């Protein structure tokens, strides 16, 4: 067999293992090691494995991941979701559909200090669902907006998925966070516009809330000062290059820890819960990172990524046809797997292909632009059936809403995601302007 055939076979075997419910990290390690031995021999593998685990877990580029996860765990215990929702409510609540809009605003605020979609959905769901019910919002709109709003946790930096992408394509995390900022804000505005349209078509679905006075509005904003400080300190520090993403994550974890104690009433048990939550997610991600390292070393030997890039580069297809093909594949994969797994599986093949095509921008800018597009599209998998995790989380909290209603409810939000991806493809400047200005 040629290297290429071994590479393709390896990919096929891995998909079979995944279908059998083998954890993705284990599947990548198994196929990666087997392929490595086939091409380079067992002595090469044994020698490679002596320190690979150590270097992978001790990489300076990766220590940012557990620190951001720890920060997100503390943020969830800081009692901020109530204040965020209340603040968004005083500003948006009096519009038709205003309570759902406030939920989106709260999600956006929480997303600015948390890198996890599921945590954003879960914490905002607890706060906003009872209010949406009190105002008689339709089950579809209530659960749909929270499931979609949760994706803002990942779309608005910090974002764990984006860090993993950065590591895989060797991009600068800080620059990617800059690039994600405006698209993230557009996502929140797009969701609010969706709610406005839904309630215009069907006013019953989302009545207006009470109007707040100007004094109440400012008082409510004052209540969310910890979020503002953490965001300005952490993301501002990273954006303006005052410190590295790892330092930002460390400072953010320490800051949210203090807020969780003073405001959220976190005590020893809560602290231990936060540590165990961080432990589980960190271990899950690093097992895949180790698997991806070995799997990608094997793919590199097999020449599959280069061959694929050559093949598509010389195929005569327009770059945009290939890009749309990838997006379609992401959406299909999103029906069956989670966003992180998708990034790990596809980027080692997709990025070399994109890098070899001409989109009228420098390779470094294409890296940012493609990363943000990929991020949005893989996150859409969180709200599509049959395994949309955000939908499951919100639906399990809203016991009276049938699952099918929630999936119907997310359709207009899904449509706004598609439109946003189209806009970002057509106008790369939206993504690239902030990194250019701050460079």
Considering only residues 25 to 44 of the shown chain, the ones binding another protein according to CB under 8 A are 25-27, 29-30, 33
Using the rule CB under 8 A, which residue among 6, 39, 70, 166 binds another protein? 70
- Answer yes or no whether residue 239 interacts with another protein by CB under 8 A: no
Least distance to another protein from the beta carbon of 301, Å? Answer: 19
Instruction: Name 401's Cβ contacts closer than 8 Å, sequence gap at least 6.
Output: 139, 140, 142, 143, 395
Token pair in block for residue 411: 């359709």
Using the rule CB under 8 A, which residue among 3, 10, 35, 66 binds another protein? 66
CA dihedral 25, 28, 30, 31 (to 10 degrees): 170
Least distance to another protein from the beta carbon of 275, Å? Answer: 3
- Answer yes or no whether residue 57 interacts with another protein by CB under 8 A: yes
Cα torsion angle, 179, 291, 347, 151, sign: negative
Token pair in block for residue 40: 């380079």
- Give the footprint of another protein on residues 153-212 (CB under 8 A): none
Going from the C-alpha of 135 to that of each of 99, 197, 210, 213, 216, the distances in angstroms are 8, 18, 10, 20, 20
Applying CB under 8 A, which part among 67-75, 103-111, 174-182, 311-319 lies near another protein?
Answer: 67-75
Q: How many CB atoms lie within 10 A of CB 114?
A: 32
The site map against another protein for 270-309 (x = CB under 8 A) is --x-xxxxxxxxxxx-xxx---------------------
- Give the footprint of another protein on residues 368-427 (CB under 8 A): 386-387, 389, 393
Least distance to another protein from the beta carbon of 276, Å? Answer: 6
Least distance to another protein from the beta carbon of 202, Å? Answer: 31
Q: How many CB atoms lie within 10 A of CB 121?
A: 30
Using the rule CB under 8 A, which residue among 3, 6, 24, 89 binds another protein? 24
What does the alpha-carbon distance between residue 322 and residue 308 come to, in Å, rounded to a whole number? 12
Token pair in block for residue 125: 């769901």
Query: What DSSP character marks residue 286?
Result: H
Give 232 or 283: the residue with its C-beta nearer to another protein.
Answer: 283
What does the alpha-carbon distance between residue 109 and residue 351 come to, in Å, rounded to a whole number? 31
What does the alpha-carbon distance between residue 356 and residue 362 come to, in Å, rounded to a whole number? 11
The site map against another protein for 107-146 (x = CB under 8 A) is ---------x-xx--x------------------------
Give 144 or 150: the residue with its C-beta nearer to another protein.
Answer: 150
For the chain, the residue count is 439
The site map against another protein for 327-366 (x = CB under 8 A) is --------xxxxxxx-------------------------
């Amino acid at each position: 067999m040629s290297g290429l055939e071994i590479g393709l076979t390896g990919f096929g075997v891995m998909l079979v293992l995944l279908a059998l419910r083998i954890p993705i990290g284990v599947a990548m390690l198994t196929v990666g090691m087997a392929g490595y031995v086939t091409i380079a021999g067992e002595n090469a593998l044994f020698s490679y494995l002596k320190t690979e685990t150590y270097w992978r877990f001790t990489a300076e580029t990766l220590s940012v991941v557990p620190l951001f996860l720890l920060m997100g765990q503390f943020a969830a215990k800081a009692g901020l979701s109530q204040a965020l929702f209340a603040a968004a409510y005083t500003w948006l609540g009096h519009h038709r559909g205003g309570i759902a809009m406030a939920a989106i605003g709260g999600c956006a605020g929480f997303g600015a200090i948390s890198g996890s979609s599921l945590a954003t959905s879960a914490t905002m769901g607890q706060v906003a669902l009872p209010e949406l019910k009190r105002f008689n919002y339709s089950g579809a709109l209530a659960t749909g907006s929270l499931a979609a709003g949760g994706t803002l946790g990942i779309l608005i930096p910090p974002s764990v998925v984006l860090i993993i992408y950065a590591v895989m394509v060797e991009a600068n995390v800080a620059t990617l966070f800059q690039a994600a900022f405006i698209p993230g804000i557009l996502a929140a505005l797009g969701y609010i516009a969706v709610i406005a349209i839904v309630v215009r078509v069907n006013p019953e679905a989302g009545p207006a809330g009470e109007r707040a006075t100007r004094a109440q509005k400012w008082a409510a904003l004052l209540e969310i000062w910890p979020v503002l400080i953490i965001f300005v300190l952490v993301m501002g520090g990273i954006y303006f290059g005052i410190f590295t993403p790892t330092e930002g994550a460390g400072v953010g974890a320490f800051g949210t820890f203090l807020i969780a104690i003073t405001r959220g009433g976190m005590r020893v048990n809560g602290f231990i819960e936060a540590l165990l939550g961080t432990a589980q997610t960190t271990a899950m991600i690093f097992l895949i990172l180790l698997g991806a390292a070995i799997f990608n070393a094997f793919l590199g030997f097999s020449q599959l990524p280069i061959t694929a890039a050559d093949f598509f580069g010389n195929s005569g297809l327009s770059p945009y046809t290939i890009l749309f093909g990838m997006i379609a594949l992401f959406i299909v994969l999103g029906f069956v797997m989670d966003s992180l797994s998708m990034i790990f599986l596809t980027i080692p093949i997709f990025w070399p292909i994109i890098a070899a095509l001409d989109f009228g921008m420098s390779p470094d800018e294409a890296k940012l632009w493609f990363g943000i597009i990929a991020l949005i599209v893989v996150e859409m998998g969180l709200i599509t059936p049959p395994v949309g995790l955000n939908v499951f989380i919100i639906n399990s909290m809203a016991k009276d809403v049938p699952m099918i209603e929630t999936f119907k409810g997310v359709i207009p939000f899904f449509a706004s995601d598609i439109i946003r991806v189209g806009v970002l493809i057509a106008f790369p400047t939206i993504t690239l302007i902030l990194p250019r200005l701050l460079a």
